[in-house]
Structure 1
Amino acid sequence: MPWKKFNQMISIGIEPNAAVYSSLIQGFCMHGDLVKAKKLISEMMNKGIPRPTIVFFSSIMNSLCKEGRVMEAHDILNLVIDIGERPDVITFNSLIDGYCLVGHMEEACRVLDSMVSVGIEPDVVTYNTLVNGYCKSRRIDDGLILFREMPGNRVKPTTATYDIVLDGLFRAERPVAAKNMFREMIESGTAVNISTYSIVLGGLCRNNCTDEAIVLFQKLGAMDLKFNITILNTMINAMYKVRRREEAKDLFAAISDSGLVPNASTYGTMIQNLLKEGSVEEAVNMFSSMEKSGCSPSSRLLNDIIRSLLEKGEIVKAGFYMSKVDGKRISFEASTTSLLMHLFSSKGIYREDIKLLPPKYRFFGGVR
């Protein structure tokens, strides 16, 4: 339809301007019709109308890459080169990012080679994108090789670069290498921000270095560093993990004093750990506080509470939380269903208490 309108304009003597041409070229590029796009570009040049700039084409490529249409974006790069336009570092970075997003690291590296071959030097965004792509693809060693190449190519790693590598090492369960990298980051004079500390503390906790995480957290607290709620959630869970229960509760109580607000994850962390240690009543009270604060429980959390109450014989309380199961956002997990059938079946220990459950769940004991 746009092509037909375009030809109608010309047939009645209306000369298209640069905006009309650009709009059509963008449409054809987004729909993969590069033959018509190239034809329009040639018309513009023949008529002396300024053709679209590299910024214009880079924007289209970026949009395609975000949609996962990387090959189509690559075709536009070839079109750009074919019409004599010089791609810039942003153009190449968009395409590299696209290939990394779809996990095609070899293609991303070929784009890097093409970039260098035409005399465009990779910048820190180029390297960060590639290193992150390797880390996401669980190829941390390849990412480290690129990271080590950066200084030789006159590109200094930034805080974001170190954050990517640290997160990759921790997720690859290489805490020793991650701790060495963190030490290297500090010694290099690279700024360490709250994001870095969040990655390190979380990584230490996930890799069974909880005591080290707590020591670092305490040092940071002595420096009056302003924590975010993610870090506090991590450390509350870490303290419970090493049975420093009172410290965990004190940290939770101090959240409001630090100007932060507990979120669903905070409450979930507290409730999960209270349930693990058998403090069902405290967990139930915490759940009430969670609801009053406007935080919605996850399906997993509600299932954990229901199972804990059932195992304690708190049938009425369990029934109250079962009534919150809607079958859509929140549903019974297999382990919860199995427990209900075991407890309330004809041979179950709570078969006489089945009527204490909400009516719609009495079928577990064969009662309607």
Structure 2
Amino acid sequence: MIAMGVLPEKSVYQSLVQGFCTHGDLVQAKELVNQMKNKGMCPPNVKFFSSIMHNLCTEGRVMEAQDILDLMVRIGERPDIVTLNSLIGGYCLVGKMEDASKVFDAMASYSLEPCSITYGTLINGYCENGRIDDGLILYKEMLHRGLKPTTFNYNVILDGLFLAGRTVAAKEKFHEMVESGVNVCIDTYCIVLVGLCRNNCSSEAITLFQKLRTMNMKFDIRIVNIMIGAFYKVQRNQEAKDLFAAIPASGLVANVVTYGVMMKNLIKEGSVGEADKLFSSVEKSECGADSCLLNHIIRSLLEKGEIVRAGNYMSKVDEKSCLLEAKTVSLLISLFSTKGIYRKNINLLPKKYQFLEGAAAGLQFNS
């Protein structure tokens, strides 16, 4: 452009700066910014750089985002709260909590005050990385600074407590959330219901679910899936089936997870014919059967001793050009090895999946 006498506009420089930043060539990016200044153009502002940093952080390229922050400071641009929140989120995403904490502490040097989003992002990072106590300490610090917890803050804490198996503390925090008047959204109920079921409190989950139904709460398919599993877990099988049957009337559409939960439990209770019929419905539905569902069904059938039916579904894996998962292969080896309980029935499997001495011959699977 320059050689042809065409003077680049500001948008051209900004496109080049963005490209060099995205691809890690900050020397060239800095040179272009200097050229813009020399030509009397306004250099890229904080919002411009923050957008690039955010994209890098969501991809886990946090060190490159950190370099861009350093570049911003060198050219005289002060980061804002959005910039640093993105960087904290990036460090949390890749599990570098000490670096995330350093960015948090550095906010004061930029005359910035952490907001509820800052705290929520860092608390979530601690919880995701198994450091729930550090997250709770930060949560108390947030309250001490006069910041009111948001729905996101509570959801993060609830999820972390349930994941850590601290059900009593999670229930207390949930009641605190309800009493505080903070908006309890569908995501919150999903976290609580999943957490209760995961920690062997399925009956409590059902009680909460039934209470919500009397409040005409509009559910999404995630919660229906959770509760179908909960009803089956406490042997209330007919209620699980009724809930599944009511999905269309609720304006919802069953997904692969829904069918997976139903088929697993139908097979477990011995209703394998009913499970086969349900699979036919899956094939006709919009979601269709994927590799995950097929592997799920195969393992359930093998565990139930339904070798022929399991073999039929293994053939479907081949028809759909899917692969057996590592868990499925491990179960096959365990059941059909020389000492396996089903060894004598190995000929009931498709020939491709027959193997000797506990070694899988020609098996392909997902790790």
Q: Does the TM-score normalized on the shorter chain lie above 0.5?
A: yes
2:275 to 255, 259, 283: 283
1:97 aligns to what SS in structure 2?
helix
Are 1:126 and 2:132 matched, yes or no? Answer: no
Deviation at 1:304, TM superposition (A): 2.8
CA distance in 2, matches of 1:228, 1:37: 46
Deviates more, 1:179-188 or 1:116-125: 116-125
**Which amino acid in structure 2 is aligned with residue 27 of structure 1?**
G
Are 1:93 and 2:85 matched, yes or no? Answer: yes
Answer yes or no: is the 8 Å Cα contact 2:228–2:244 preserved in 1: yes
Answer yes or no: is the 8 Å Cα contact 2:260–2:297 preserved in 1: no
The residue correspondences of 1:209-248 to structure 2 (distance < 5 A) are 209-248=201-240
Deviation at 1:342, TM superposition (A): 6.8
Answer yes or no: is the 8 Å Cα contact 1:151–1:157 preserved in 2: yes
2:302 to 298, 303, 307: 307
Q: Describe the superposition over 1:29-67 as per-residue Cα deviations: whole angstroms up to 9, x where unpaired.
A: 233333333233223223321111111111222222223
Are 1:273 and 2:269 matched, yes or no? Answer: no
Deviation at 1:269, TM superposition (A): 0.7
Answer yes or no: is the 8 Å Cα contact 1:306–1:321 preserved in 2: no
Deviation at 1:148, TM superposition (A): 1.6
The residue correspondences of 1:156-167 to structure 2 (distance < 5 A) are 156-167=148-159
CA distance in 2, matches of 1:257, 1:193: 22
Deviation at 1:338, TM superposition (A): 5.0
**Which amino acid in structure 1 is aligned with residue 216 of structure 2?**
D
CA distance in 2, matches of 1:171, 1:125: 22
The residue correspondences of 1:1-368 to structure 2 (distance < 5 A) are 9=2, 13-294=5-286, 295-297=288-290, 298-304=293-299, 306-307=301-302, 311-312=305-306, 315=308, 317-326=309-318, 328-331=321-324, 333-336=329-332, 338-339=334-335, 348=344, 350=345, 354=347
CA distance in 1, matches of 2:341, 2:157: 53
CA distance in 2, matches of 1:82, 1:335: 58
Deviation at 1:95, TM superposition (A): 1.0
Answer yes or no: is the 8 Å Cα contact 2:314–2:350 preserved in 1: yes
Q: Which has the larger radius of gyration?
A: 1
Closer/same/farther in 2, CA of residues 296 and 41 from structure 1, 3 Å limit: same
Answer yes or no: is the 8 Å Cα contact 1:303–1:333 preserved in 2: no
CA distance in 2, matches of 1:85, 1:334: 56
Answer yes or no: is the 8 Å Cα contact 1:280–1:308 preserved in 2: no
2:318 aligns to what SS in structure 1?
coil
Closer/same/farther in 2, CA of residues 207 and 51 from structure 1, 3 Å limit: same
Closer/same/farther in 2, CA of residues 239 and 46 from structure 1, 3 Å limit: same
Answer yes or no: is the 8 Å Cα contact 1:299–1:330 preserved in 2: no
Q: Describe the superposition over 1:239-270 as per-residue Cα deviations: whole angstroms up to 9, x where unpaired.
A: 11111111111111111221112211111111
Deviates more, 1:115-124 or 1:160-169: 115-124
Q: Give structure 2 stretches of 5+ with no counterpart.
A: 357-367
4+ long deviations beyond 4 Å: 11-14, 340-347, 356-364
Q: Describe the superposition over 1:74-119 as per-residue Cα deviations: whole angstroms up to 9, x where unpaired.
A: 1221221222212111111111111111111111111111112221
Answer yes or no: is the 8 Å Cα contact 2:161–2:167 preserved in 1: yes
**Which amino acid in structure 2 is aligned with residue 333 of structure 1?**
V
Deviates more, 1:142-151 or 1:127-136: 142-151
Deviates more, 1:29-38 or 1:137-146: 29-38
Answer yes or no: is the 8 Å Cα contact 1:131–1:143 preserved in 2: yes
| Number of residue pairs matched by the alignment | 350
**Which amino acid in structure 2 is aligned with residue 110 of structure 1?**
K
Two-structure CA RMSD over aligned residues (Å): 2.8
Deviation at 1:271, TM superposition (A): 1.2
Answer yes or no: is the 8 Å Cα contact 1:204–1:210 preserved in 2: yes
TM-score, with structure 1 as normaliser? 0.86
Deviates more, 1:17-26 or 1:122-131: 17-26
Q: Give structure 1 stretches of 5+ with no counterpart.
A: none
**Which amino acid in structure 2 is aligned with residue 33 of structure 1?**
D
Match of 2:364 in 1: none
Deviates more, 1:115-124 or 1:231-240: 115-124
Deviation at 1:333, TM superposition (A): 2.4
CA distance in 2, matches of 1:347, 1:358: 14
Q: Describe the superposition over 1:302-344 as per-residue Cα deviations: whole angstroms up to 9, x where unpaired.
A: 31354267x25x74x4543332131952425232355456799
CA distance in 2, matches of 1:345, 1:272: 21
Answer yes or no: is the 8 Å Cα contact 2:335–2:343 preserved in 1: no
CA distance in 2, matches of 1:218, 1:102: 39
CA distance in 2, matches of 1:117, 1:71: 20
